[in-house]
Amino acid sequence: DTGVSQDPRHKITKRGQNVTFRCDPISEHNRLYWYRQTLGQGPEFLTYFQNEAQLEKSRLLSDRFSAERPKGSFSTLEIQRTEQGDSAMYLCASSDRTKGSPLHFGNGTRLTVT
Amino acid sequence: SQQGEEDPQALSIQEGENATMNCSYKTSINNLQWYRQNSGRGLVHLILIRSNEREKHSGRLRVTLDTSKKSSSLLITASRAADTASYFCATTSGGGADGLTFGKGTHLIIQP
């Protein structure tokens, strides 16, 4: 069990550019979650996959955001035409059982949009 | 929107003292979880308490749940410098939403 890994750890981009983050969950976990966290706040739910199916999306996930989990393993989160308000920590988490199971988080990707 | 609200927002105590953090939530829940986050890192699950449980222990942690008041508390006994972190409560509801809903957290500082 190597834990949830996220890449990159930090990303600095200019406004208007596209960025893509990757998350590798714990291998036997079929559920994968993306959260966004701004300074001084708790994580906010963005989206959730069960295997390769994206089952839920938050209203926070605007049209500029897209997430995929093509083979039910790793996942990517892409932000198109980044805005300064997108600056945040993007956290990925996975779990292996039913709704409400404890989540295993990665260390996040910190995005800074200049 | 954030379901849980932790209180206090910040807490500073001396090493060896006990630390108590509270969480209030708004809607009915299936369970409530507490997580710890060290600066710049991901969250680590500490303890889960189900809606039909009133108290749970894990090492130096004690969690209580009062569903009538929609509140929970986390007690850390005999605090250590390594306990310095932010602590979040998170809930799952009985509705269709699957993701955990987190509060804003309590930032705990243990003075050596």
- Tell me, yes or no, if A35 comes closer than 8 A to chain B by beta carbon: yes
* Interface residue A99 vs chain B (CB under 8 A): yes
pLDDT at residue B5 in the model: 80
Check residue A16 and report its DSSP letter: T
Contacts of A43 in chain B (CB under 8 A): 43, 88, 102
Q: How far is CA A27 from CA A2, A65, A72, A74, A94, in A?
A: 9, 25, 10, 9, 9
User: DSSP assignment, residue B77?
Assistant: -
Encode pLDDT of A47-103 as tens digits.
999 999 998 888 888 999 999 999 889 999 999 999 999 999 999 999 987 666 889
Quick one: pLDDT at residue B28?
86
Chain B nearest-CA distance from A15, in A, is: 23
Along chain B (112 residues), what's the average pLDDT of each consecutive run of 10 residues?
Answer: 75 96 90 94 95 96 96 97 96 68 93 92
Q: What pLDDT score does B1 carry?
A: 45
Tokens of B72: 């929970």
Window B:34-93, CB contacts with A under 8 Å:
35, 40-45, 48, 88, 90, 92
Residue B93: partners with Cβ closer than 8 Å, 6 or more residues away? B3, B27, B28, B29, B30, B101
Q: Do B98 and A108 touch (CB under 8 A)?
A: no
Q: What is the pLDDT of residue B68?
A: 95
Res B3: pLDDT: 60
pLDDT attached to residue A21: 98
Residues in chain B: 112
Task: Look up tokens 């849980």; give the residue.
Answer: B4
- Of all residues in chain B, the one with the smallest CA distance to A43 is B102
Give the full edge-to-edge strand order of the sheet including A19-24: A5-7, A19-24, A75-79, A65-68
